[in-house]
Amino acid sequence: MRKNIVAGNWKMNYNIEQTQQLINDLKTSLERVTYSARVLVAPTFVNLSAAVSSTKGTSIEVAAQNVHQAESGAYTGEISADMLQSVGVKTVIIGHSERRTYFEEDDTLLKEKVKTALAKGMEIIFCFGEQLDERKSGNHFSVVESQLKNVLFDLDVNQWKQLVLAYEPVWAIGTGETASPAQAQEMHAFIRNLISKAYGEVVGNSISILYGGSVKPANAEEIFSKADVDGGLIGGASLKSADFTAIVTASKS
């Protein structure tokens, strides 16, 4: 059966001292509670190596927030999948709405990033989700469908084992407004059904689909309790160990 996952996307927050501090706090607080979800944290690139060292021997995994589509070369300022793997990072977030909006990452580019990261053997947390106007106009299902189809539906069935999906409605990211548990469930079931139709029920039922967008300790349990919600991708609330730990313990067992 599919795995529940709670991942913290730390975005462009925290220097090295703060990163070490948060990891130490998390190690302590997660040791005191019971949970069965996979737990990942995604610090900024410069702190990945330190994060991998300080989480060694714990159940906390470290992910990157982005990766370049080329294997190597003259791409000043960019980071390759090999570089991430060489510091012990096995998972990468691709397609976050902030990358789509501020760095103009479109489906064509994301497809290249996915292809490269998969070929390098990395696990991908692939993010997508509709804008507010797209939900208001009732187009949210077709937007999500094309985001998935344009980037992922050419993949080989075996490559889906390396994928985790994160549905993050853009209007819920950092706004304090979440999709209701019913809205999240409705979209997650739609996504799973799309995948089952394209790749078969085994793949559809095995893929973890996370919800992201203003998940907090107060709303996590209700959202995670929904049948097709397999955990969360957490922004703001992942920056405080007590809040993130509470969200981890709210995940289904």
Pairing of strands 38-42, 209-212: unpaired
Nearer to ligand 13P, 198 or 216 (CB): 216
CB-based closest residue to ligand 13P: 235
Q: Is 134 in the active site?
A: no
* Phi, psi of 49, deg, nearest 5: -60, -45
Cβ at position 26, least distance to ligand 13P in Å: 16
Q: Which residues contact 241 (CB under 8 A, 6 or more apart)?
A: 22, 25, 26, 28, 29
3-class DSSP assignment, residue 94: strand
From the list 105, 140, 168, 188, the catalytic residue is 168
Which lies closer to ligand 13P via its Cβ, residue 52 or residue 170? Answer: 170
Least separation in angstroms between CB 36 and ligand 13P? 21
* Nearer CB in complex with ligand 13P: 204/245: 245
Decide if 188 is catalytic: no
> Which one from 61, 68, 96, 134 is the annotated catalytic residue?
96
Q: How far is the CB of 183 from ligand 13P (least distance, A)?
A: 15
Q: Which residues bind ligand 13P (CB under 6 A)?
A: 9, 96, 168, 173-174, 212-215, 233-237
43: exposed, middle or buried (Cβ count in 10 Å: 0-12, 13-18, 19+): buried
- What whole-number distance in Å separates Cα of residue 108 and Cα of residue 113? 9
